[in-house]
Amino acid sequence: MSTMPVGGLVPRAIDNAADLVVRNAKIHTGNPVRPQAEAIAIRDGIITVVGDDNDVASHVGPDTKVVDALGRRMVPGLNDAHLHVIRGGLNYVLELRWDGVPTLRQGLAMLREQAARTPKGQWVRVVGGWSAEQFAERRLPTVAELNAAAPDTPVFVLNLYQSAILNRAALKAAGFDKDTPDPRGGQIMRGRDGEPTGMLLAAPGALILYSTLAKAPVLDEEHRKSSTRHFLRELNRFGLTSAIDAAGGFQSFPENYSTIVELAEAGELSLRIAYHLFPQTAGQEVADLARWIEMASFDDGDEWLRLNGAGENLTWAAADFENFAQPRPEHPPYEAEFEKAVRLLMENGWGFRLHATYDETIRRDLAIFEKLAAEGLFPAGNRWLFDHAETASPDSLDRVAALGGAMSVQNRLSFQGEAFLRRYGPGAAADAPPIAAMLERGLTVAGGTDATRVSTYNPWVALHWLVSGRNVGDLVLRPRSNRVDRQTALRMFTRAGAELTGEEKVKGILSPGFYADLAILSDDYFTVPEPEIPHIESLLTVTGGRIVYAVGEYEGLDEELPAITPEWSPVAHFGGYQATPGTGLSGARQAHALGEAVAESEQHRQWRARRGLAPETVSSFFDPCFSL
């Protein structure tokens, strides 16, 4: 591999020369002992020196790769503490991503183009990472628009945990007709003739959405490997070097884990993954957990791929839903089986994580933990945590701290914030989730995205949400008192994630003896205007001393990947996340896009008016700020 020529650093024949040196950087180490530095040396995947150019000069040998950061900001590699990376990788190249797309008009144009190249028998699928709140038009696509864009190719568009929109061809491919019954917890919307319209509703559970998506064709094993490698490279694009996989529905162990295991065995992972095991079949969860405990040990694996416990569900009955368009579900008693599952894990030294959106669920779970604590099972050194916790109460957080737990929060309200606000009001939205209260209690609070089917996998969107309290539509949801500063937010996406996997002594900061995981950023995270944070990307990402992503001046320094297959893949043509220029860089372009979106929105209103679905005239603008 080539290296950048750097004046002033003269290679010399020395023992234990560095494999890689990065100099002339503004390094935020995350280490309070030495928070800032200018250069770093790496050997055998481990940081050996953190200092200035003089400190690393003596470590440059004839074969050392030397990279000039050109004065840019360097940070520890990011760690997404809740990412469905294994499932996402298996499907990545099949998906048309609307992540970052600023207008519905653009999204529909992408869909129309992709439908034209998608072969017969395959679907066009838009699966998560977007919300109507991000579009200038502020609305979802209609079934009619999907039919017009793709009259013959099945199209499935997932809208958060709330709904899915299918065109006529997808309804036929999925087998939906007048006689198809509504599944439990879901609703098939029907017209006057009883035929499905193309809208599926989670009412309140998302099983109807995911089970329909599961009817689409899947990749074979070789394509799954390629898809996963390209998805990991896409995550490296944003400076991610680690992730904690939260498992999830339709992710069975061991069969759906075989791809990531084979890539790890071949040394082809560019992202460190700690994974969880999620029982898939209601009624046999405890039996599955017992079987897995016999098969594997907690913390099995190495620094690239390791088992981090069970979850994010332990029993299906104990899981609440995160569809804020629907009322909070009332669960029947689930405590007996849930207690068996938790007891089994604690007695065998396993950690776990729990999906819990609402405080009502958290309180019921904590009551079980406190019962087991009376027997000495809590706190017992097992790593365990609650995920999400949008409505966790101060009392519940006190109880979590007393039982030795931790928290993992995700920016789901970046995409669902307005639905949450409409249902629960501004007071609840201001505390959703209560991050400041968590930190005040000394809890480990890690940051994540919950990508790929809800939020985008771009961690800088989540970091912006942590810092600003704003959703993707620029609506302020959380007040300043429940936001964090930029350094705290970055720690939540680095060191805190390492604490959740017990790796805080080797990962999460830039210090000698730690893993050489780092990113050189396109913009200085600590000084860019707040609205620019979501536009940050990595220019060079290093995982374990390997350059796994490189663009701009560093292009060609990273590892080569095979071409994306199949050739008709949406990712091969559009890429993944659709980056847009920062707000300060292209105001004219953004104004033009907004004008197009407004025109498109007016066309849509006129179409509805002609069909009697909207008034012929638009009511005058009303702003309550100017009312008497």
Domain boundaries, the chain: 92-214, 221-504
Chain segment 220-261, per-residue pLDDT in tens:
999 999 999 999 999 999 999 999 999 988 889 999 999 999
% of the chain residues with pLDDT over 70:
91
**Mean pLDDT for the stretch of residues 186-199:** 96
pLDDT per residue as tens digits for the range 463-484? 999 999 999 999 999 999 999 9
Q: Could you please report the per-residue DSSP string of 508-535?
A: SS--TTSB--EEEESS-TTTS-GGGGGG
pLDDT per residue over 399-427, tens digit each?
Answer: 999 999 999 999 999 999 999 999 999 99
Specify the higher pLDDT residue, 7 or 507.
Answer: 507
Angle of the 258-265 helix axis to the 221-236 helix axis, nearest 10? 70
- What topology is assigned to 221-504 in CATH? TIM Barrel (3.20.20)
The strand order across the sheet containing 20-23 reads 46-51, 39-43, 20-23, 65-68
Residue 596's pLDDT is: 52
Phi (first) and psi of residue 251, to 5 degrees: -130, 85
**Cα 467 to Cα 482: distance, rounded to the nearest angstrom:** 9
Contact yes or no for 497/508 (Cβ under 8 A): yes
Mean pLDDT of the chain: 92
Tell me the C-alpha distance between 618 and 628, whole Å. 22
Report the pLDDT value the prediction gives residue 14, as an integer from 0 to 100.
84
Average pLDDT over residues 370-398: 97
pLDDT tens digits, residue range 84-123? 999 999 999 999 999 999 999 999 999 999 999 999 999 9
- 586 vs 351, residue with greater confidence: 351
Query: In the predicted model, is pLDDT for residue 616 greater than 60?
Result: no
Query: Which helix (H) or strand (E) covers residue 359, if one does?
Result: helix 359-373
CB 182 within 8 A of CB 201: no
Q: What is the mean pLDDT of residues 197-207?
A: 92
Euclidean distance between CA atoms 557 and 67, whole angstroms = 9
The 3-state DSSP class for residue 80 equals strand
Tell me the per-residue pLDDT of 270-299, one tens digit each, with 9 for 90 and over.
Answer: 999 999 999 999 999 999 999 999 999 999
pLDDT at position 4: 56
What angle do helix axes 335-347 and 285-295 make, rounded to 10 degrees? Answer: 10
Q: Is the pLDDT confidence value at 623 over 80?
A: no
C-alpha to C-alpha distances, 70 to 539, 540, 550, 552, nearest whole angstrom: 11, 12, 14, 12
Give phi and psi for 189, each to the nearest 5: -70, 140
C-alpha distance from residue 87 to each of 33, 84, 274, 450 (Å)? 38, 6, 14, 12
DSSP-derived secondary structure letter, 476 = B
40 vs 38: CA distance, rounded Å:
7
**Which CATH number among 3.10.310.70, 1.20.1300.10, 3.30.499.10, 1.10.3680.10 corresponds to the domain 92-214?**
3.10.310.70
